[in-house]
Amino acid sequence: MVNRYAPWRYILLILVIVIGAFYAAPNLYGEDPALQITHRVNLIDDAELGNIRSLLENEDIDYRSIELDGNNLLVRFDSEEKQLRAATQVREALHDSDRRYSVALNLAPATPDWLTTLNALPMYLGLDLRGGVHFLMEVDMGSAIEKSLQRAAGEMRGFMRGEKVRYKAVQTSARDVSIRFDSAENRDSARLLLEDEYRDFEFVDSNDDRSWFTRVSYNAAALEEERRSAIEQNISTLKNRVNELGVAEPVIQRQGDERVVVQLPGVQDTVRAKEILGATATLEFRLVHGSFAEWNSTAASGKAPIGSRLYTQSDGSPVLLKRSVIVTGDQIVGAASGIDQQSGTPDVTITMNSNGADRMARVTRDNIGKPMAVVFIEDKFEFREVDGERIRHRTTESQVINVATIRDQLSKRFHITGLDSTREARDLALLLRAGALRAPMVIVEERTVGPSLGQENIDRGFLSVMVGFVAVLLFMAVYYKVFGLVANLALALNLVLMVAILSIFQATLTLPGIAGIVLTVGMAVDANVLIFERIREEIRLGNTPQASIYSGYSKAFGTIADANITTFIAAMVLFGFGTGPIQGFAVTLMIGIASSMFTAIFGTRAVINLIYGSKQVSRLAI
């Protein structure tokens, strides 16, 4: 038997080793305490970079580097003490000039530029290793259902007017919509039409001495769908907001029926995180009611005409808007600021989903030449002590941020014009892109995982990997001699490849992931043990060393493949049905199995062939 590999096999092995070492290298450089400075509207330029540098130098604060990182300004420091001191000074200086600056404490990878330019980045560390913040947020489902009913009520008003149905009033409560009629005949005919048009609702009739009513509420299936849609929309919006924060690999997932877990690894500034996550802003598009004179007289009297509501614009002036909502911010899927080609003034291009586009087309078709307003609505929560109990209290603030004239029928994509400046256009586009929460959310639990705890976990996890790794190395070297040393080389390569793969795919390493690596270290030598024992058996049967090596690798392959495939399937099941920590364990286990198969079979065979291939040997050091 001839144990030789073709040259291309050795070239392939060398390429794998070089690429693996290259992409694993960024993990050796660690992270620097850093300040991440962003502006909510404008991009930070070189002039502002110079201002920050001058500020730090005037305050005698040493920094490692200062650079523009995309839309952010990143300042690195040698210690957390300097980082905290700089954060205080920078916040005071920037907030005095413009309160739309955000200064967040963060941890930035210290990878050299020559590696990052080739897209070699360190793997992400989870909250348990890197430190960060953990929030448990609760969705106000009552508010979500109420807003949905308000939209439905507006649609029902328009539907009944289109069908020439006479009704007296439509009122919305937290649970249903009440439609009042002046006769039983009108009520019955309206209910038949509404039941055919709105299949997701239940209709219950009632009456008193002067009026006849139909109460409209969601059926059980539609109510559950509204709840599911509300929390999924909020999760999507939270992900967009976290992207604005610049957090790598956040965890945002549903917990139960009304709660969402948000974990932000590496974020040390909980105030900044809460500003973004806790912002419960929504948007509404409404038609404008009346004239300037009527707005001022209504503001003076405090009594709005029927079908309208008084709002305040950003400059403090009053404006009357119709109660019927055209579309809301949760129906917007994209927004971009620019310049209107016709007028040369700033504008914002908005893209809506199918439901919003249909509704916008119907309303604007009948109101060309009339003004439409964008209303910014923010729900704020505070806790109050009532009879010894901590009660959550909500207040709502509304402000008109834009009034523009409808120049044509609008649909999926349309422009908002009439903006005063490009900065206002960018501000509005940023707000729309970030998305509106379908329902208000409140932070019910907040935990901060300090960097010291994360470092302790990293040190202990690293120690466990090293202890297990060294113990296996010693056993293999003593028990299998030269073959054991070859297996140790494969084991070291296996660790490098695992780290490289995690880094290439920018996976998140957690404590359960480290447990998966430790398990893989022990399992990685299983294949070599099977091969080496098979070689020993062939030698005891009287075969030559070359024949024993060939038979050992070829006959043990089936057993190795079966064992690793079954383990890989189990890891896939863990990943598919598990969540969080279980998935982290499964990912590292699957990667470890795949890399150990390559190193234990292909890698060790290549080295053994170099040592013993095509040589006349009388015995093997095994």
- CATH of residue 516's domain is 1.20.1640.10
Residue 290 within any structural domain of the chain: yes
Q: From the CB of residue 495, how many other CB atoms can be counted at a distance below 10 Å? A: 21
Instruction: Return the CATH number at 53.
Output: 3.30.70.260
Edge-to-edge strands, sheet with 251-255: 251-255, 259-265, 132-139, 441-449
520 and 546 housed in the same domain: yes
305 and 326 housed in the same domain: yes
Residue 561 within any structural domain of the chain: yes
Q: Where are the alpha helices (DSSP H) in 246-353?
A: 270-277, 292-301
Residue 80 within any structural domain of the chain: yes
* Residue that has been written with the tokens 């880094």 in this structure: 503
**pLDDT in the model for residue 261:** 87
Q: What's the residue count for the chain?
A: 622
**pLDDT in the model for residue 18:** 93
Closest CA to 138 of 498, 360, 392, 308: 392
Largest CA distance in the chain: 112
Residue 103 within any structural domain of the chain: yes
287 and 382 housed in the same domain: yes
By the 8 A CB rule, do 524 and 599 touch? yes
17 and 35 housed in the same domain: no
* Residue that has been written with the tokens 């490289």 in this structure: 500
466 and 576 housed in the same domain: yes
**pLDDT in the model for residue 544:** 86
394 and 469 housed in the same domain: no
Last residue of a domain, one of 88, 109, 130: 109
**Contact partners, residue 210, CB within 8 Å, separation at least 6:** none
For residue 550, what are its two tokens? 């060939």
Residue 369 φ/ψ, nearest 5 degrees: 90, -5
d(Cα 511, Cα 553) in Å, to the nearest integer? Answer: 35
**Contact partners, residue 333, CB within 8 Å, separation at least 6:** 351, 352, 353
Residue 291 φ/ψ, nearest 5 degrees: -120, 175
368 and 473 housed in the same domain: no
Residue 331 within any structural domain of the chain: yes
Helix (H) or strand (E) holding 17: helix 7-24
Closest CA to 279 of 381, 193, 407: 381
Last residue of a domain, one of 411, 436, 461: 436
Local structure of 321: helix, strand or coil: strand
By the 8 A CB rule, do 264 and 247 touch? yes
482 and 545 housed in the same domain: yes
* Residue that has been written with the tokens 């998935």 in this structure: 583
**pLDDT in the model for residue 385:** 64
* Residue that has been written with the tokens 């908005």 in this structure: 350
By the 8 A CB rule, do 425 and 337 touch? yes
21 and 46 housed in the same domain: no
By the 8 A CB rule, do 308 and 342 touch? no
**pLDDT in the model for residue 235:** 83
**Contact partners, residue 159, CB within 8 Å, separation at least 6:** 193, 194, 197
Amino acid at 163: E
d(Cα 617, Cα 619) in Å, to the nearest integer? Answer: 6
79 and 164 housed in the same domain: no
Local structure of 399: helix, strand or coil: strand
361 and 426 housed in the same domain: yes
CA dihedral 124, 128, 130, 132 (to 10 degrees): 110
CA atoms lying within 13 Å on the CB side of residue 125: 24
For the chain, what is the radius of gyration of the CA atoms?
Answer: 33
pTM for the predicted model, two decimal places:
0.60
**pLDDT in the model for residue 22:** 93
Q: How many helices and strands, by DSSP H and E, does the chain display?
A: 18, 22
d(Cα 530, Cα 561) in Å, to the nearest integer? Answer: 11
* Residue that has been written with the tokens 């070859």 in this structure: 486
Q: Where are the alpha helices (DSSP H) in 505-603?
A: 511-524, 526-540, 545-577, 581-597
CA torsion sign for 55, 58, 63, 68 is positive
Last residue of a domain, one of 109, 128, 151: 109
Closest CA to 604 of 540, 553, 554: 553
Residue 488 within any structural domain of the chain: yes
CA torsion sign for 519, 521, 527, 528 is negative
Residue 313 DSSP one-character state: B
d(Cα 315, Cα 424) in Å, to the nearest integer? Answer: 13
459 and 402 housed in the same domain: no
**pLDDT in the model for residue 216:** 92
Split the chain (622 residues) into runs of 10 and give each run's mean pLDDT: 79 92 90 77 70 84 82 82 84 64 76 85 78 83 84 85 86 88 89 88 87 90 86 80 62 84 74 62 81 85 84 85 82 77 77 84 87 78 62 71 80 72 66 66 76 66 80 88 89 90 84 83 82 89 87 86 89 83 85 88 88 80 82
Closest CA to 256 of 414, 115, 141: 141
| Residue 302 domain boundaries | 281-436
CA distances from 84 to 196, 266, 307, 613 (A): 63, 15, 53, 61
Number of domains, the chain? 4
d(Cα 494, Cα 498) in Å, to the nearest integer? Answer: 6
Residue 618 within any structural domain of the chain: no
d(Cα 185, Cα 200) in Å, to the nearest integer? Answer: 23
Residue 562 within any structural domain of the chain: yes
d(Cα 289, Cα 131) in Å, to the nearest integer? Answer: 52
